């Protein structure tokens, strides 16, 4: 089963263009926002040198293909709809986008470095947009979505803890459906010094 990489970013940043190029697909590309309305997946390949000739061993992998000394490793790319500011509040495709992006093993953030996209994701004059803010906006959307899930389930977590459930287990259970493991929660507690409280 190939790794899943979700392509995230604001509308009109070139996610579908990249997706089409990497997967040899022909999904619609247009200059209007939300051309991609639902996730589309396709298979791309990471290409690297095969090492088995160097080690003089026979190679018969199940997860990739070797052609003329080059290893082709399949990767499932998911072209996600563009994200807009306040998606975590439900704007645009909002929570639907965020829950789908969480199903990916990794996220690849596509940013229009030319600054040709305004803050709402509309095409504007090159240099008038702010790619750094675009990056920060998407990061903030993901953080606020995780925060919203936590705040919306505060009572549930409190009840579980009062009945003897470990804090790490209670929070892990809350986020399990979107790929969060106990290791992720433990690392977050450590990074924020909350592990000192438990």
Task: Let me know: does 110 contact 135? Beta carbons within 8 Å.
Answer: no
Q: How many CA atoms lie within 13 A of 31 on its CB side?
A: 5
Residue 54 to residues 59, 69, 86, 116, Cα–Cα distance (Å)? 11, 10, 52, 46
What gap in Å lies between CA 59 and CA 69, rounded to an integer? 11
Beta-strand (E) ranges in 64-105? Answer: 65-67, 70-79
* 170 CB-near residues (< 8 Å, 6+ apart): 157, 160, 161
The helix, strand and coil proportions of the chain, stated in percent and rounded to the nearest 5, come to 40, 20, 40
Domains of the chain and any CATH numbers: 3-129 (3.40.50.300)
- The per-residue pLDDT for 62 is 80
Q: Are 118 and 129 in contact (CB under 8 A)?
A: yes
| pLDDT of 53 | 78
Q: What is the pTM of this model?
A: 0.76
Q: Which two tokens stand for residue 103?
A: 């199903």
pLDDT at 197: 57
Residue ranges of the chain with pLDDT lower than 50? none
Residue 90 contacts residue 145 (beta carbons within 8 Å): no
């Amino acid at each position: 089963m190939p790794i899943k990489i979700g392509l995230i970013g604001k509308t009109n940043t070139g996610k579908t263009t990249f997706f089409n190029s990497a997967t040899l697909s022909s999904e619609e590309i247009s200059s209007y926002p939300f051309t991609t309305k639902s996730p589309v997946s396709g298979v791309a390949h990471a290409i690297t040198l095969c090492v088995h000739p160097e080690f003089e061993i026979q190679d018969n992998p199940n997860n990739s293909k070797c052609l003329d000394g080059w290893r082709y490793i399949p990767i499932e790319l998911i072209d996600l709809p563009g994200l807009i500011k306040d998606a975590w509040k439900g704007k645009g495709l909002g929570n639907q986008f965020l829950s789908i992006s969480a199903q990916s093993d990794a996220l690849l953030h596509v940013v229009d470095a030319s600054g040709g996209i305004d803050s709402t994701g509309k095409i504007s004059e090159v240099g008038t947009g702010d790619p750094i803010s675009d990056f920060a906006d998407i990061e903030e959307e993901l953080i606020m979505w995780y925060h919203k899930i936590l705040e919306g389930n505060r009572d549930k977590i409190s009840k579980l803890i009062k009945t003897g459930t470990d804090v790490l287990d209670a929070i892990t259970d809350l986020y399990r459906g979107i790929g969060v493991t106990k290791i992720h929660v433990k690392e977050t507690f450590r990074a924020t010094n909350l592990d000192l409280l438990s």
